[in-house]
Structure formats: C-alpha cells, structure tokens
C-alpha cells in the first residue's frame, strides 16, 4: 500500500512510536528530518550551545506537516471523505496538501483578514474549500468542533490526538541528532499543541532509553495573546504573529503539564521583540522564519537582556556547554508582507549604468 518513494516521512522513520498499523494507508509528503542548525551567534551570546530546529523546511513550510501525515492517514483509514480544520493559516495549508495527496475533500475555517497571504494561497491552490468567518481562531475552532459527529468527516485540528502523535517526532529527531535531549527547549506557543507534543516525545524517548535526561520546556506567547501566561482566556487576542494569535488554547493543560513537569516556564514577548528577532535571525544566521516562529528567538534574546522572570529556569540552566534547542516553526516566505512592512524595505532604483548602481550601493 505504501509507495516506495513515500518511505522517508515521519511515519516511516518512527512507525514504532506512532498509532499506525499495516492497515493504515500512509499519506506522506516526506515531512520531517528537518535540519538542526547550530547557531554560532546565539551560542556566543549565551555561552551555551544553541541549535535551531528549522521546521520551515517541511513540505508545506511548517511543523504542522508532522501531525498532518498521521492525522490524515488515520482519517483515511477510518473512512473519512472530508477533513475539516480551523486554522490561523498553517494548519489549513498542511491539511489541504495532505488531503489532496490522499484524494479527500478539505474544508478550512479561517478568521477573516487575519491569515498571512502565503498560507491563504496554499489552502486555495491545494484545493481546499475556504470559509473566512467574521470572528477569531477560537470562534473557528468552536464551529469545527460542532462538525465532530458528522458521518465521513474528520477534524484534523490538534484536538485530534493523531496530530500530537505526529508532532512529537520533532523531539525524536532532536535527540537523534544531538545524541541526547538538550538542557532547554524553547518554542512559540499558540494553541499549545506543539509544546504538548514535544514534551510527550521527550518523555517517550527517555522512557525507551534513547536519552539520559529531559529538557526544561520554555514556551513563549505573544504579549497580546498570552492566556496561559496570564492565567485566563483572552477574548480579543492581538499580535502580528498570526500563527499564535489564540485566546483560549485547546491544549492549555498539556502546556501547563509540560512546563510544570519539566521545570520550565511560559513567558511573553512583545510584537516589537518578535519582529526584531525575525530580522536578527535572517540577517545574522541566514534563516528566514515567519513572525510566530521568531518568538522562541525573541524569548532567548529577552532572557539574555538581563531580566529573566522569577520562574525562569535559565539562571541555573544557562551554563557553558549547556545545550539549548529553539524550534523555529514556519518559513518566512509564508508572510512576506509583514517582513517587508516592518523593515520598511523598498528597493532603491538606479539608472542602468555601473556608476549609478555604485552610487546607490555606496549610499550617495
Ligand atoms: C501552529 C503554529 C504555532 C503554534 O503552535 P501551537 O501548537 O498552536 O502552539 C507556532 N508557529 C507556527 C508557524 C505555527 O504554524
């Protein structure tokens, strides 16, 4: 049933740890096995060894593909003819692509006007039916949940446990690349499925004897949509980082457990810090990520700037030789508009002569 060229995705690589059987048709686009890039400049600034797990290099440009290969494979196994999701953008891109691959219908419910244009284009081009609601992500998810009982329809949001199962493979890869778990793992938090999944993955590999330790999990929410940090749902979440613009996370409990069990914390970063980190990462390390992804980098830079919060585990964990992994969750090409606007980037024009071009390059 599995075509040979499909044999490179996360189900193939970590089948033994995933809820699949020989009866599961593997729907894959060769997701996962993303690079864990050493960051010389962040390492220098922290005195630790800092690595970036670049999830933008998945087939649709975000980590959502890891969960989607499992969720869509299982949905097809159970006879689904339509998959549906609420999305801030990347879930819909992944759902639409994997549904196309599987030959099933895909419906996506989005908050109108709040989706980065690259992600919206993906949903349409992969052939999804797109409905933009006059409401936010939390409203979209409420509507999707109501489709739960409909015959032949499978929900592929991260409330579907198969998504979490697939996403935990990122932790497996980190351990396989480093030879052990890191001391700290930083990542952005929106609906909180991913921090839940990473922690599950770290615990499973540890229990299987594949690592000697567990990392502290450190999650960053955008200051304008930080329900977990603040301890209450946010009715009108706002942030330029649309992928984490969520006021009432579905995996709130999972995130709380991850930070309390691991001795980590949830902190916040401002939109300015997020955009500055995005620009810093691109121009200093050559890695272009979308704004939400930069929350992990913004978080590390914030911690380094001298005011760690009282619960911050960095004070003890940040020592020479410590290993810190930052997940950067999605590709920068998803949302070029934000990057261009924030940077004020407009090409300078010149006459078509060497002198004119040199004058511009030299700033005259
Ligand atoms: C979905 C997403 C997030 C947030 O992940 P959660 O599992 O919702 O916490 C962060 N960054 C990007 C790029 C995403 O697509």
Please give the full DSSP string across 8-28, using - where no structure is assigned: TSHHHHHGGGSS--TTS----
Q: What is the mean pLDDT of the segment spanning 184-193? A: 97
- 174: pLDDT strictly greater than 90: yes
Question: Whole-angstrom Cα distance, residue 361 to residue 190?
Answer: 41
Answer whether residue 364 shows pLDDT above 70: no
pLDDT at 209: 98
Predicted local confidence at residue 244, as pLDDT: 96
**In the predicted model, what is the mean pLDDT of residues 55-70?**
98
Asked whether residue 319 carries a pLDDT value surpassing 90, the answer given is no
Say if residue 188's pLDDT is above 60: yes
Q: Residue 165 has what pLDDT? A: 98
pLDDT band at 357 (very low <50, low <70, confident <90, very high): very high
Q: What is the mean pLDDT of residues 301-316?
A: 70
Q: Which residues of 347-358 are buried (b: 16+ CB within 10 A; e: fewer)?
A: eeeeeeeeeeee
Q: What value does the mean pLDDT of the chain take?
A: 94
In this model, does residue 152 exceed pLDDT 80? yes
Beta bridge partners of 53: 36, 327
Q: What pLDDT band is residue 346 in, cutting at 50, 70 and 90?
A: very high
Q: If you take atom 2 of ligand 1, which residue's CA is the nearest one?
A: 243
Q: At residue 99, does pLDDT exceed 60? A: yes
Mean per-residue pLDDT, 258-269 = 96
* Ligand 1 centroid – CA 188 distance (Å): 7
pLDDT given for residue 311 in this prediction: 61
pLDDT recorded at residue 304: 81
Q: What's 289's DSSP letter?
A: B
Residue 8, pLDDT score: 86
Asked whether the predicted pLDDT for residue 315 surpasses 70, the reply is no
Between the CA of 195 and the centroid of ligand 1 the distance, in Å, is 9
Return the number of other C-beta atoms located less than 10 Å from residue 44's C-beta.
Answer: 10
Q: For position 142, what pLDDT does the model report?
A: 95
Q: Which residues line ligand 1 (CB under 6 A)?
A: 62, 64, 90, 158, 188-194, 243-244, 290, 292-293, 329-330
- Phi-psi category of residue 185: left, alpha or beta, with phi > 0 → left and psi -120 to 50 → alpha: beta
Say how far residue 203 (Cα) sits from the centre of its chain. 20
- More confident: 308 or 229: 229
pLDDT grade for 362, boundaries at 50, 70 and 90: very high
* Cβ atoms of residues 184 and 241 within 8 Å: no
Distance 237 CA to ligand 1 centre (A): 15
Atom 5 in ligand 1: residue holding the nearest Cα: 190
Mean pLDDT of 91-101: 98
- Give yes or no for residue 5 having a pLDDT over 60: no
Atom of ligand 1 nearest to the CA of 192: 9
CA of 212 to the centre of ligand 1 (A): 28
C-alpha distance from residue 14 to each of 17, 102, 190, 305 (Å): 6, 20, 26, 39
- Span 264-288, mean pLDDT? 96
Task: Tell me the average pLDDT across 311-322.
Answer: 72
CA distance 234 to 249: 10
Residue 354 Cα to ligand 1 midpoint, Å, equals 46
Residue 100's pLDDT is 98
Question: At residue 306, does pLDDT exceed 70?
Answer: no
Which 8-state DSSP code applies to residue 239?
Answer: -
The atom number, within ligand 1, closest to the CA of 167 reads 7
How is 64-111 classified by DSSP, letter by letter?
HHHHHHHHHHHHHHTT-SEEEEE-SSHHHHHHHHHHHHHT-EEEEEEE
Q: In 10 A of CB 280, how many CB atoms?
A: 16
């Amino acid at each position: 049933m599995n075509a040979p060229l499909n044999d490179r995705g996360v189900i193939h690589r970590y089948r033994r740890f995933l809820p699949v059987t020989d009866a599961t048709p593997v729907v894959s686009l060769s997701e996962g096995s993303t690079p864990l890039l050493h960051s010389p400049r962040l390492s220098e600034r922290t005195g630790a060894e800092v690595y970036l797990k670049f999830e933008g290099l998945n087939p649709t440009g975000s980590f959502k593909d890891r969960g989607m290969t499992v969720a869509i494979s299982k949905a097809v196994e159970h006879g689904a003819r339509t998959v549906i999701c609420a999305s801030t953008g990347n879930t819909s891109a992944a759902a639409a692509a994997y549904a196309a691959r599987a030959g099933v219908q895909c419906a996506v419910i989005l908050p109108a006007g709040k989706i980065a244009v690259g992600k919206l284009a993906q949903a349409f081009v992969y052939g999804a039916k797109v409905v933009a609601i006059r409401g936010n992500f939390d409203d979209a998810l409420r509507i999707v949940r109501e489709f739960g009982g409909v015959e032949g329809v499978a929900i592929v949001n991260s409330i579907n446990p198969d998504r979490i199962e697939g996403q935990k493979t990122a932790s497996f890869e980190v351990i396989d690349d480093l030879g052990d778990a890191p001391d700290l793992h930083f990542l952005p938090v929106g609906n909180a499925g991913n921090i839940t999944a990473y922690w599950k993955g770290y615990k499973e590999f540890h229990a299987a004897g594949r690592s000697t330790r567990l990392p502290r999990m450190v999650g960053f929410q955008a200051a304008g949509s930080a329900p977990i940090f603040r301890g209450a749902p946010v009715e009108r979440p706002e942030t330029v980082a649309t992928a984490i613009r969520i006021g009432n996370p579905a995996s709130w409990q999972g995130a709380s457990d991850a930070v309390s069990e691991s001795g980590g914390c949830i902190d916040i970063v401002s939109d300015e810090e997020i955009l500055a980190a995005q620009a810093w990462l691109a121009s200093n390390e050559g890695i272009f990520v979308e704004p939400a992804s930069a929350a992990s980098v913004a978080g590390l830079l914030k911690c380094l700037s001298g005011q760690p919060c009282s619960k911050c585990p960095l004070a003890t964990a940040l020592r020479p030789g410590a290993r810190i992994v930052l997940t950067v969750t999605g590709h920068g090409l998803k949302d070029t508009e934000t990057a261009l606007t924030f940077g004020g980037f407009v090409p300078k024009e010149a006459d078509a002569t060497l002198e004119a071009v040199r004058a511009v390059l030299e700033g005259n």
